[in-house]
Amino acid sequence: IGIDAVAMCVNDVLVQGARPLFFLDYIAVGKNHPEVIEQIVKGVADGCVDAQCALIGGETAEMPDMYDVHHYDVAGFCVGAADKKDIRTGEHIADGDVLIGLPSTGVHSNGFSLVRKVLFKDAKLDPHQKMEELGGRELGEVLLTPTRIYVRPVLKVLEEIDVHGMSHITGGGFFENIPRMLKDGQGVRIEKDSFPRPEIFDVIAKYGSIDEEEMYNVFNMGIGFIMAVKPEDAARTQQILADMGETSYVIGEVTESGKVEIE
């Protein structure tokens, strides 16, 4: 949970080309269970280490009239910085730019209202049950896999490559997040078979009878971060990532269609 709070902030700052500088957290509880607070704060600290930013403060509030004794609420924010000339505004994105996708670790921090309804409320699955579709892993464990933090690999790419635009695939999936980095009238063509899809998405789609378009409109479907680069920079971008031990995929290209096309 703590890692997710950091990841959602630093990855969003990153798409502007900014380096995360510092993070603050806020934890509200119905009752202060020190062992729970400890785990959350450790997650926040681990996330900050991964994102190479400082955890400079936080606040904890115990409000029994507001929250159930077993409930807690976690919020946070980060500040990042970039030289004005280095801010990625999307103004240089052009038709034919190649989309380099970095894999997600699973559901990340989005779509959990739908996940809970489909898997727990409707299908009444047990989060502790081991599922063959998930390679024998517990359902809850898979769902709570921490969100990937993309700061280190992306900043490394930015040192050498003129990345035209970036997108953090969060709530709203491909259809809402990718257009944010594009200019008016531009679109993208995504090749859905160009990257592996974690099994958890097939489980959600199966139990919820959710069609493919809606899945791509809610979830990251296996791609958590996208960079748009010139075609001639694609191979070098992937090599930089590979040298860091990062897997990446060419998942599509920028078009003039004005829409997100998934084929």
pLDDT at 38: 95
CATH of the domain at 133: 3.90.650.10
- The reply to whether 162 falls in a domain is yes
Are 106 and 79 within one domain? no
Are 120 and 244 within one domain? yes
C-alpha 41/C-alpha 74 separation (Å) is 10
Are 31 and 147 within one domain? no
Segment-wise mean pLDDT, segments of 10 residues, the chain, 263 residues: 97 97 97 94 97 95 94 96 93 96 96 95 96 96 97 97 97 95 96 96 96 96 98 98 97 96 96
pLDDT at 247: 97
Residue labelled with tokens 């960079």:
227
C-alpha 188/C-alpha 166 separation (Å) is 13
Are 67 and 102 within one domain? no
Are 54 and 135 within one domain? no
Are 49 and 132 within one domain? no
HSE-CB for 27 with a 13 A CA cutoff: 23
Are 148 and 49 within one domain? no
pLDDT at 17: 96
Name the residue among 244, 180, 260, 194 with its Cα closest to residue 222. 194
pLDDT at 233: 98
- Which structural domain range is residue 76 located in? 2-86
- The reply to whether 202 falls in a domain is yes
Are 196 and 231 within one domain? yes
pLDDT at 219: 97
- The reply to whether 93 falls in a domain is no
CATH of the domain at 46: 3.30.1330.10
Residue 87: CB atoms within 10 A of its CB come to 11
DSSP secondary structure string for all residues of 144-211 = TPPPPP-HHHHHHHHHHS---EEEE--TTHHHHHGGGGSPTT-EEEE-GGGS---HHHHHHHHHHT--
Are 82 and 107 within one domain? no
